[in-house]
Structure 1
């Protein structure tokens, strides 16, 4: 029986240290972490690795349920998958485990709260953007990579993979930038 920890933050500028310290203090022998949105299960390779690693009697530990996911259906599906492997889930804050009969009810309610919180966050964000647009100060999201540099490197004859490494984006994003500019 292993205690395996999973930690997640949504953005690159958020810090995993608090979750990692808590999971270590709880005796997790293996901890996987990632910086990716919890709005969906998609694109979360560390979570998939943890689930695939779980064996009968193992325990997956998360600091808070919203670290596992912010969509109730996703969270319940993740818990179901874990239980199909004979393992169980423990949430540290508030302390709830799927080992007991009340754990499932509590985790379902907590999952619904996490999903509702995500909807509130998105709604506040949308309202803030609308206010900024109305005030004429909205500039859109910040660019994550330099599109002009992609074009310059491409003009020099450098291939998409090398451009992606140089700019710090995926090869697919390079293809999109080049495609969108030629249209």
Structure 2
């Protein structure tokens, strides 16, 4: 007896399994079983490498229907998504998406219809990968912006460490000149003079940078 299986890949906190199942049922799908991978990347991990992805491939038989929210649940790697869908079709499994209600199967023998179907699969798989790459780039940009903001808040990173600062303060206490201290520590005279004028600020700068 054929069955309808929902495959869900839950990769973030806002992509709940219940939400994907409810969305599918609201679209008219009668789900017999749910298979889900949690916290697994669809970019770096192929469907066959995911624990429940392997189980899905083993359990589906000819005449079964595989339901996914969209092809990005199968993965976000162009080649993997295309290969997975084509393998399921060769085995007689029908793939349906909740979004846009797309249907992919191997029923048609007409070469033109096959070409259109394969082109659509390729387009959707490419879109999934492009969206993943755009999201990753946006995340990197956000991290870089946050780091830049933090650096501005902390000010310029000190050119000295705590041991060097201790040496400077010790030599200043012995009335050594700025030039002599600079030569001994490798710091500039300007840095020595700033430390001399504002030793507390120098300590705070080290603390801000965790040094």
TM bucket normalised to smaller: 0.5 to 0.7
Instruction: Name stretches of at least 5 consecutive residues in structure 1 with no aligned partner.
Output: 138-183
Instruction: Name stretches of at least 5 consecutive residues in structure 2 with no aligned partner.
Output: 152-211
For residues 78 and 98 of structure 1, what CA distance do their matches in structure 2 show? 12
Q: Do residues 44 (structure 1) and 50 (structure 2) align?
A: yes
SS in 2 for 1:26: coil
Q: Which position in structure 1 is the counterpart of 2:164?
A: none
* Structure 2 counterpart of 1:123, from 137, 144, 148: 137
For residues 60 and 74 of structure 1, what CA distance do their matches in structure 2 show? 16
Contact 1:23 1:31 (8 Å CA) reproduced: no
Write out aligned runs for 1:27-66 (5 A): 27-35=30-38, 36-39=40-43, 40-41=45-46, 43-66=49-72
What count of residue pairs does the alignment treat as equivalent? 137
Could you say if the C-alpha distance between residues 20 and 28 of structure 1 is closer, same or farther in structure 2, counting changes exceeding 3 Å? Answer: same
SS in 1 for 2:82: helix
Q: Which position in structure 2 is the counterpart of 1:21?
A: 22
Shift of 1:14: 3.8
Considering fraction of residues, name the structure with more helix. Answer: 2
Could you say if the C-alpha distance between residues 90 and 14 of structure 1 is closer, same or farther in structure 2, counting changes exceeding 3 Å? Answer: closer
RMSD: 2.0
SS in 2 for 1:27: coil
